[in-house]
Each structure stands twice: as C-alpha cells, then as structure tokens.
Amino acid sequence: MAAEIDRDKVRASFHRQATDYDRHAVVQGRVVEKLLVLLQAEGVSPARLLDIGAGTGRLLARLTELYPDADTVGVDLAPGMCETAARNLAGRRVRMLNADAESLPFDAESFDVVVSTSTYQWLATLDQAFDEAQRVLAPGGVFCFALFGERTLFELRESYRAVLDGGADRTHSFFSCNEVSAALERAGFDNARVSSELEVELHPDVPELLRSLKRIGAGSTAPASRRGLSERRMMLEMMESYRRRFGREDGVPATYDVVYGVARKAEGE
C-alpha cells in the first residue's frame, strides 16, 4: 500500500523551500507554459480569475500579462509560498491568500476561470478540490489544470519497492488519467478533456535527484517513519538499484507524467 499523505508535512515542506523553488522546479515551469496554451485556446477573456496552488506566482505573473484587466487571485496552502508570490507579484493586479484547495474562502460563482498547476497530486482524493473549483466558477466558466499523474517518478518508486523486502511501501501514489476524468464527471463539469504527456529530467546521479526533489519541497510526503542504520542501508540499496536499472551515460532520468485537464461549468448552473 502506498503511503498516506501528511498534509501538514506537505505544507511545511513547501513553506521551507519557497525561496528556492523556481530555481529547481524546471518541469513545473514547462507545465505553466503548456497550460497557458491550453487556456488561450479556450478563447477566454476573464474578468475574475483564480489560481489554486499558486506557489511562487509564476503562473499568476503570466496570467496578469495575458489578462491585465482581470481581478486575479492566487491561493496556496504554504504560507511561505504566499509570501514569496506576494513579493514576486508586487505592483501587479493580484491578491495572494493562504488557503486550502479543498476549502476555498470564496462565494459560489466568484470566478470566470480557475487554473491550477502541479498542486492536486498532493491530495488524497480529487473530489473535494474539484467540487470546490466547480462551486466557485460562474456558469460557463473554464477550469484548466495540470497535475502529476501515475507514471511520475516511476524510476524512483520502482527502485524503492525493489529493496523493500516485505516492508511498508512509503512512496507517493499519483492519480491516473481515468481517475482525473472520473473526478471531473462526479464534480459535474461539462465537456471535460483530459490528456497526458511525459517530461524527463536528467540528473548527474541519484543523490542529486533526491536533493532536487527536496529543494522544491517534494522530498518527502509520507508520515514520519523509523530512522537508523536499517533505513540508511535501504536508501543506499535503493540508489544502487536506481543507477543499475535506469542509469544512462548522460545521467539518471526522472520521469514526470503530466496530466492536463480542461473543462467547463454548465451554463445552466
């Protein structure tokens, strides 16, 4: 069984890494640009726009350029991310709030467009967050998002499981495209389109990959576990398994399975 998600640990981890996040979040930057292409293809001209899990404000900065007249709001679970975003977005027409994707502090039908990138994979289920996105959207509004899907970091997860020797699996479990589509349908969205594509990062070695994950706040999302020599030995064995199974001449790959979704709230709601 994959590890349950400790939301307090997620919040604290991203809070600590807020100032260094953009320097190391390479794939996440690519995802922002691809999401903007999807959103623009919808032909929207929003007066009110919300970014859920806004992080350091990278997507918000681009949105304020594309839609300078919109009232734009960003929310993030991590206070450090909100503070960093507020600094990065100073002088722009945007507000940042510390808030949870599963309990948004807005009235129903408050926004014409809701976006999100690299956020929903940290939730145990998608239902409550998608229900909230649907609730705050105006009728006909667009929901456009990207999250990391089921093959994300499969090299790391398979290498870890290979050395478990019957122990508890504490690796993170990601949503499949089918799970994302089903959650959108349950939330009542119309004409939902879900697709995925792989992004691959290369790292010099496995320790550098692990350091990179830690620098973007994603190093550990499982509840606290045992420590000591047995844990260290398992980590060393995992890294050797990773290098042996997946290593290449130019480094070790880390795969990200990016799931993109675009949907609309029905006009009659």
Whether pLDDT at 101 is above 90: yes
Residue-level pLDDT at 210: 87
Whether pLDDT at 1 is above 70: no
Among 12-16, 131-135, 155-159, 179-183, which stretch is predicted with the lowest mean pLDDT? Answer: 12-16
Average pLDDT, the chain: 85
Higher-pLDDT residue of 111 and 214 is 111
Higher-pLDDT residue of 10 and 163 is 163
Residue-level pLDDT at 170: 62
**pLDDT tens for each residue of 62-87:** 999 999 999 999 999 988 889 999 99
Residue-level pLDDT at 28: 79
Residue-level pLDDT at 113: 98
CA–CA gap between residue 253 and residue 204 (Å, rounded): 9
Rounded to two decimals, what is the model's pTM? 0.85
Residue-level pLDDT at 179: 97
Cβ(81)–Cβ(18) under 8 Å? yes
Residue-level pLDDT at 16: 47
Residue-level pLDDT at 212: 82
Whether pLDDT at 177 is above 50: yes
Whether pLDDT at 222 is above 80: no
Q: What is the dihedral of CA 11, 16, 22, 27, to 10 degrees?
A: -50
Across 77-136, the runs of DSSP E, i.e. the strands, are: 94-98, 111-117
Pairing of strands 252-265, 189-203: antiparallel
Higher-pLDDT residue of 41 and 229 is 41
Residue-level pLDDT at 11: 45
Closest CA to 206 of 159, 163, 170, 164: 159
Closest CA to 158 of 255, 232, 249, 74: 255
Whether pLDDT at 181 is above 80: yes
**pLDDT tens for each residue of 233-254:** 888 999 999 999 999 999 999 9
Residues 6+ apart with CB under 8 A from 232: none
Delineate the domains of the chain, giving CATH numbers in brackets.
7-152+172-201+254-265 (3.40.50.150)
